[in-house]
Structure 1
Amino acid sequence: MFKKLREVSGKTSLATKIFIGLGAGILAGIIFGEGMLPYEFIGKIWVNLIKMILIPLILFAVISSITSQKDTSSLGRLGLKAMVYFGLTTIVASVIGILLSYLLKPGKGFDLMVSEGAAIELPDDLTVESFFMNLVSSNMFQSFSEGNMIQVIVIAILLGIAALKIEDVQKRDSVLSWFNYMTELIFSFVWMVIRLSPIGVFFLMAGSIGQYGPELLGSFSKLIGTFYLGILAQIFLVYGIVVWFSAKVSPLRFVKDSSALWLFTISTTSSVASIPVNLDVAKNKFKLKERISNFIIPLGSQINHDGNAILLSCIVVFTSQATGVDLTFFTLIKLVLLGTLISSGGGGIPGSGIIKVMIVVEAFGLPIEIGAMAAAFYRLFDMGITTANCMGDLAGAVMIDKTEKVEAEEVPVSQ
């Protein structure tokens, strides 16, 4: 499955090529400025080439992962571990955002001009009932066409379980073989697109830098700096500790061996588009079992949003400091819980990150203009958000893979 991807990336050749494209794009954006904007569509076409295959990629990768499990009980064990891991790391991410924001005080001295009568129309379907109802599709082809990734994953899980339940062994093997062949075809297509990564990255970054320029930071520089310190803390401390204790991999090695992934996420700002690279890194750099990485990483791309949790916490505290509003201890606890819940939703919604920011800011009675301001800088935030999310998916796959190995060794020979 990953043979051609491995040939492209080599030892670190894919990461090196992406890095060169990234640096050249930034340089071109600074030199030519807005003159690079007309060519940004080339990078967007490259991203579209990845996105067009993502639905079948996730569908067949998850189904193949499930059908490679020993039984449905092992599948349930993987799902439980994933949910606990992603939930805990998101809570920690919210706490990190709060602590750094109070320590560095990015909102102090920020002149926030609040316009009167500003309001936001919040979605009215953010209920427990609607959340679970939206997990199950009433029309799988509609879910495919709309790009509803969480529904696609649920469909893949159900189809995978159904395939395992086929009683006729010969028919079951035929079905599983077909899924495996389709997976090979899809990854062959992905291989062709991945080879174009340096070109796509160049035009994406050149367009972004050309549009915003060096003044992109401006008065938001302290907030951006605080946010990225939180991202680094999450990657090196939280994920680093996870891989260190579970797989004896040092944080520095974890970051080094995943360089192809985080260079890709910085460039594309798409957790879903990064799934092929993440799967390749998991297999070839960390030697994870495909039945685990093919399940955990696509699942994490939809339910793991640690980067969002850090941003939401930073912006709420930033806004409170800019407006002189003191947040009580119980309010901060509410921020952690609400940030964890809100950051985990909205998968597949265009601009959902900005919507989440506005929802959380409004929930605490703070001026929502900060959400509109953040929209102008969201590309910068999104690079860190996507990187943290995908690195968290990889760290979770590493941890769960190693614990599964331990459990397999502990099974009595008689079983």
Structure 2
Amino acid sequence: MKFSAIPLYARILLGMIVGIAIGLLAVPCGFSGLVTDWVKPFGEIFMRLLKFIAIPLVMVSLIKGVGSLGDIASLSKIGLRTIGIYICTTVLAIAVGLVLVEAIAPGKIVGADSAAAMEADYRAAVTERSVQAEGMAEVPPLQFLVDIFPDNWIGAMGDNGRMLQIIVIAVLVGVAVLSVGRERTEPFMKLIDALDAILLRLIDLIMRYAPIGVAALMAGMVADTAGNLELLGALGLYVVTVVLGLLLMIFLFYPLLVHFFSKIPVRKFLRTMSPVQLLAFTTSSSAATLPLNMELVERKLGVSQRVTSFVLPMGMTINMDGTSLYQAVAAVFIAQVLGIDLTGVQLLTIVATTTLSSIGTPGVPGGSIVVLLMVLSSVGIPPEGLALILGLDRPLDMLRTVVNVTGDATVASIVDARTPVSE
């Protein structure tokens, strides 16, 4: 079998394993310096490519997502209600993830020596983050809110650390597109569609290099930390944290919403959703699952056709509860491993960034990783920490997609129960 015929997630996982093996072999053989000088740079190239694509991808995806919602003047109560519920469920999913990762603290099982070694490796970034945190005590309490609004378009787009400002720019442009009207903005939206296709192709090309980049990053990281196996234990606990959060969403959070805010019995809802969840798990694609989800929600759950046809396609675009929970856990986990203590403001920034960026998360391999890079940048966490979790992204993505499609059906059930026939 050709290497290119192996699925991307398997190649990335293989690259992660190879990188760990290289690092573990280099330490006792005295080749740590060789790995750092001649292997690790290929990982840094991969990180540079991800950073390079992050800003244009988020900008174009968000403008396309918001600008495609329809005429803002004619948005019905159903539309506003749907968007509001989707935002609420996303924020609550992020909160679940943050509570779990803070309570379980998977990254903190890494010993003080290992954390200190990694912190030394990223000393410049960590020092900058610490200075920013100390400075926050001297600024007005609402300064963080002021800072998310840029005063310079070019300046915001030239700094990956200002990703929240990029999101604000993109959302404002999308709203302006809606206000101007579809007919006058059609040439602009065609340009955005073309740019979106080009950027998605760029992601595909970059992710083909991912196995080599991940292997190089992991080899350098293991070599730099003297082959400490505590990192592997922390990774295992990280996976448990993410899976626990996603399962709580599927079997507790959504059933509670269905019970209290819809007219559908919980058992019927879970039984009806099982084929959709299985398809989502095997395909890892909300888009591929959409036709079956629409059919069963309308035919088996009794949700009206007008609600199903509006809420579910919109959810596929802007409702990413599972992805948002995962990104929040991943960001805090990486910070814990690197010995970075996030302040309350940083945690709120993670909530805001993850919620807003869920609208523009592209449904392609590597898309969520690029958005996670944006979340890390927004709170000053060194993005090199992504190497720890990249190899585990695909297996977790399967379960994240299950959460996403279940959340779409849940919101459709709630909107249908709250929508009079006259609307």
Q: TM > 0.5 between the two? A: yes
Does the CA-based 8 Å contact 2:319-2:404 persist in structure 1? Answer: yes
Q: Is 2:200 the counterpart of 1:193?
A: no
Does the CA-based 8 Å contact 1:296-1:396 persist in structure 2? Answer: no
Give the one of 17, 22, 27 matched to 2:16.
Answer: 22
Q: Who is 1:163 aligned against?
A: 177
Q: Is 2:196 the counterpart of 1:183?
A: yes
1:14-51 superposed Cα distances (whole Å, 9 cap, x missing partner): 11221222222222222234132231111221221222
CA distance, structure 2, for counterparts of residue 392 and residue 158 of structure 1: 32
CA distance, structure 2, for counterparts of residue 382 and residue 42 of structure 1: 18
AA aligned opposite 1:187: L
Runs of 5+ unmatched residues, structure 2: 114-126, 256-268, 294-311, 354-374
Q: Who is 2:55 aligned against?
A: 55
Does the CA-based 8 Å contact 2:277-2:405 persist in structure 1? Answer: no
State the TM-score, normalizing by the size of structure 2.
0.59
Q: Who is 2:69 aligned against?
A: 69
Give the one of 394, 398, 405 matched to 2:405.
Answer: 398
Does the CA-based 8 Å contact 1:91-1:336 persist in structure 2? Answer: no
Does the CA-based 8 Å contact 1:230-1:310 persist in structure 2? Answer: no
Aligned residues: 336
CA distance, structure 2, for counterparts of residue 107 and residue 13 of structure 1: 31
In structure 2, do the counterparts of structure 1 residues 138 and 393 end up closer, same or farther at CA, with 3 Å as the change threshold?
farther
State the TM-score, normalizing by the size of structure 1.
0.60
Does the CA-based 8 Å contact 2:40-2:217 persist in structure 1? Answer: yes
In structure 2, do the counterparts of structure 1 residues 282 and 228 end up closer, same or farther at CA, with 3 Å as the change threshold?
same
CA distance, structure 2, for counterparts of residue 385 and residue 128 of structure 1: 38
Does the CA-based 8 Å contact 1:306-1:343 persist in structure 2? Answer: no
Q: Is 2:319 the counterpart of 1:305?
A: no
In structure 2, do the counterparts of structure 1 residues 353 and 124 end up closer, same or farther at CA, with 3 Å as the change threshold?
same
Q: Higher helix fraction: Structure 1 or Structure 2?
A: 2
In structure 2, do the counterparts of structure 1 residues 92 and 186 end up closer, same or farther at CA, with 3 Å as the change threshold?
closer
Q: Deviation at 1:63?
A: 1.1
The percent of aligned pairs where both chains have the same amino acid is 18
In structure 2, do the counterparts of structure 1 residues 107 and 192 end up closer, same or farther at CA, with 3 Å as the change threshold?
closer
Does the CA-based 8 Å contact 2:67-2:178 persist in structure 1? Answer: yes
CA RMSD, 1 decimal: 5.2
Higher relative contact order, chain-length normalized (CA < 8 Å, sep 6+): 2
Q: Deviation at 1:93?
A: 3.5
Does the CA-based 8 Å contact 1:61-1:183 persist in structure 2? Answer: yes
Question: Which range is displaced more, 377-386 or 286-295?
Answer: 377-386
Does the CA-based 8 Å contact 2:61-2:196 persist in structure 1? Answer: yes
CA distance, structure 2, for counterparts of residue 208 and residue 184 of structure 1: 34
Q: Who is 1:369 aligned against?
A: none
In structure 2, do the counterparts of structure 1 residues 27 and 296 end up closer, same or farther at CA, with 3 Å as the change threshold?
same
In structure 2, do the counterparts of structure 1 residues 170 and 351 end up closer, same or farther at CA, with 3 Å as the change threshold?
closer
CA distance, structure 2, for counterparts of residue 21 and residue 380 of structure 1: 11
CA distance, structure 1, for counterparts of residue 202 and residue 238 of structure 2: 36
In structure 2, do the counterparts of structure 1 residues 99 and 154 end up closer, same or farther at CA, with 3 Å as the change threshold?
closer
In structure 2, do the counterparts of structure 1 residues 150 and 185 end up closer, same or farther at CA, with 3 Å as the change threshold?
same
CA distance, structure 1, for counterparts of residue 196 and residue 238 of structure 2: 38
